[in-house]
Amino acid sequence: MKRIADVMSTSSGDVLAFVFALVAASASFAGDDPAAYAFPQLISALMLIFCGANLIRRSLARFAGEPVLTMQLAGKIAPGGAVIVVYVLFAEDVGFYLSAILAFFALSFLYGEHRRLSSIGIATGAVVGVLYLMFSVVLKVQVPREFFL
């Protein structure tokens, strides 16, 4: 458990940023049209320099950093994160309003203090009602609807 917490320390963030810079740079320099890729190439080179400098600074400091993502925190946000991922993946196919009801209900239930179904239900109804009024009635946005409304 402690080991995972160590992996997610501040210095590993610097490593990750450097890896992102590497990926961006390799994608930019792989482009076949030199004129069109000049800007991304310049920027990704700068990004590599800054991320590299950041990494060197960190290793000189010989300080691994505070653990950022502890197991406790990961466990705390995991269910909510899962709800959000499922919500975003399927909202278009399920329909915006039905998925909003499910997501809102799930998030406020999982992270609620008292978990009284009635109050969570009322809150869900109120929020989705306001969403419907605003987007479908006032602004006339055509949001995806499959099974509901």
Partner 1 sequence: MPDFLQYMGNVFEPFNFLILLLGTAGGLILGALPGLSPTMAVALLIPFTFHMEPTGGLILLGSVYTATVAGGAVSAILLRIPGAPANIATTLDGHRMVQQGRAAQALQLSFLSSGVGGLLGVLVLIFFTPVLAQWALGFGPSHLFWMAVLGVTVIASLASDSVVKGLAAGCMGLWISSIGYDGVQGVHRFTFTSHLDGGIHIIAALVGLFAVPQVIDMLARAPGRSSAASVQRHSLWQALRQVAGKPRTLAIGSVVGVIVGLVPGAGGQIAGLVAYDQSRKFSRMRDNYGKGEPEGLIAAETANNAMVGPSLVPLLTLSIPGSPTAAVLLGGLLIHGIFPGPDLFTDYPDVSWTFIDALLVGQVLMVVLGLALCRLAAKVILLPENYLAAAVMVLAVFGTYSVQNSYSDVLIMAVLGGGMWFLEKYGFGAGPLVLGIVLGPIAEQNFVYGRTIATAGDGVLPYFFTGTLNVILIAIIVASIAGSVALEIRARRQREREAAS
Partner 2 sequence: MKPLQLLERRFAALAAAVMMMTMVAVPPASAADYPERPVGVTVAYGAGGATDFQARIVTMMSAQEDYLGQPIYIINKPGAGGQRGWNDFVTRAKPNGYELAAYNVPHFIAQSIAFPDKVKYNIGNLEPIANWGADPAVLIVPKDSPFDSARDVVEYAKGNPGRLTVNGAGKFVGHHIAFLQFVRAAGVETTYVPHPKGGAGALKDVMGGQVKAGFNNLSDAFRSRDNLKILAVADLQRHDFLPDVPTLKEQGIDVDDSSVNFRGIMAPAGTPPEVIAFLAERVPEMFNNKRRVAKKMKDGGSPLRVMGRDEVAAMWKERQAYLTELLKDLVQ
Interface residues with partner 1 (CB under 8 A) are 10, 12-14, 16-17, 20-21, 24, 27-28, 31, 33, 35-37, 39-40, 43-44, 46-47, 50-51, 53-54, 57, 68-69, 73, 76-77, 80-81, 84-85, 87-88, 91-92, 96, 100, 103-104, 107-108, 110-113, 123, 127-128, 131, 134-135, 138-144
Residues that bind partner 2 (CB under 8 A): 89-90, 92-93, 140, 142, 146
DSSP secondary structure letters along 16-85: HHHHHHHHHHHHHHT-S-HHHHHHHHHHHHHHHHHHHHHHHHHHHHT----BSS-HHHHHHHHHHHHHHH
CB of 132 to partner 1, least distance (A): 10
Q: Which of the choices partner 2, partner 1, none does residue 24 contact, using the CB cut-off of 5 to 8 A by kind?
A: partner 1
- Report in angstroms how near the CB of residue 149 gets to partner 1 at its nearest: 13
- Enter the tokens of residue 65: 């950093």
103 binds, among partner 2, partner 1, none (CB under 5 to 8 A by kind): partner 1
DSSP state of 14: H
The binder of 71, among partner 1, partner 2, none, by C-beta within 5 to 8 A per type, is: none
- Minimum gap (Å) between residue 45 Cβ and partner 1: 9
Token look-up 């995991």 returns 78
Inter-CA distances, 83 with 77, 86, 89, 107, Å: 10, 5, 10, 7
Q: Count CA within 13 A, CB hemisphere, residue 142.
A: 0
